[in-house]
Amino acid sequence: MTIKIGNAPCSWGVEFADDPRNPSWERVLDECRDAGYRGIELGPVGFMPEDPAVLGDALAARELELIGGVVFRPFHDPAKWDDVKDGSVRTCEALKAHGARHLVLIDSISPRRAPTAGRPGEAEQMSSSEWTDYVSKIRDIARMGTEEYGLITSIHPHAGGFMDFEEEVERLLGEVDASILKICLDTGHSIYADFDPVAFMDRHMDRISYMHFKDIDPEVRKKVVANRTDFYEACGDGIFCNLGKGAVDFPTVKARLEAAGFDGWCTVEQDCDPDKAQSPLDDARDNRTYLQSIGFEDAA
């Protein structure tokens, strides 16, 4: 059993490929390597070069492995289906070209859900017909990623979208076959959504294919939930703190992974506002040092 530790461009504030505030992709690769990681996610498709030769050479020069990629698109919006498909196909093509395995699906933030992030009892729910269409779209992309590209496809609950809270995650898992859709469990988003990631692991460890390691400051969470703060403003307010400084019980998460014989990647994600990020390289180093301190050997 080997648990490998990687990082992701969102730890450098990269959420959207065309954001002019983004650092260069070369800097992200350099600093990921300099912080001691051996793997990195693709980030939003279009941020890294889509020419396999260019990105392949850049990864090899830094001895980095491409772990996977996230499709962060509005699965909830029928009018944006072409956008969802475009992002999905391009991400699949990139992952296959570099031998990466993990395709992660995230329903992007909806104006209908953003104000109730962290408030499961108040969140607007889809109508029956909306839900049926929504699940169908997730299923279609999951099947494409798994059957056409040979990837391990997973759903990632995320604050502010329609796949956020525990009840709706459980509902989706019951409606899409495990052979095409696994779970990427994000420890920080779980607590943001007011459910316990360890208890979720106890119920669904056999379906967890991938982990995102994120910590959350409980005091900042309390404030942003009370104020109905926008997700990206919450990132700027420091809701996602360095690992080991917040509410996530990482030693217990580690114990659960080891007990289950988990073999694969866990990726650090410390979402931040690119305008307010002081030193993503220092944060990346500190997060790796923390994981090393609690016994993650690949972080050593």
Domain count, the chain: 1
Instruction: Tell me the HSE value of 60 on the side-chain side, using a 13 A CA sphere.
Output: 8
Q: How far from each other are the two terminal CA atoms of the chain, in whole angstroms?
A: 16
Q: What is the CATH number of the domain that holds 15?
A: 3.20.20.150
Judged by phi (left if over 0) then psi (alpha if -120 to 50, else beta), residue 56 lies in alpha
Is residue 2 classed as helix, strand or coil in its secondary structure? coil
The band of 297, judged by pLDDT with boundaries at 50, 70 and 90, is confident
pLDDT, residue 299, reads: 65
Q: Could you read off the pLDDT of 186-199 as tens digits, one per residue?
A: 999 999 999 999 99
- Please check the confidence at residue 276 and state whether its pLDDT lies above 90: no
Asked if residue 76 lies in contact with residue 34, where contact means CB atoms within 8 angstroms, the answer is no
Domain that holds residue 226: 3-299
Instruction: Indicate the pTM of the whole model.
Output: 0.96
The band of 7, judged by pLDDT with boundaries at 50, 70 and 90, is very high
pLDDT, residue 114, reads: 92
Average pLDDT over the chain reads: 96
Distances in Å between the alpha carbon of 273 and those of 10, 163, 256? Answer: 9, 23, 31
pLDDT, residue 277, reads: 67
Please tell me the least confidently modeled range out of 75-84, 102-111, 229-238, 242-251: 229-238
pLDDT, residue 71, reads: 98
pLDDT, residue 27, reads: 97
Q: Could you read off the pLDDT of 63-99 as tens digits, one per residue?
A: 999 999 999 999 999 999 999 999 999 999 999 999 9
Burial profile 192-223: b = 16 or more Cβ within 10 angstroms, e = fewer: bbebebeebbeebbeebbbbbbbbbbeebbee
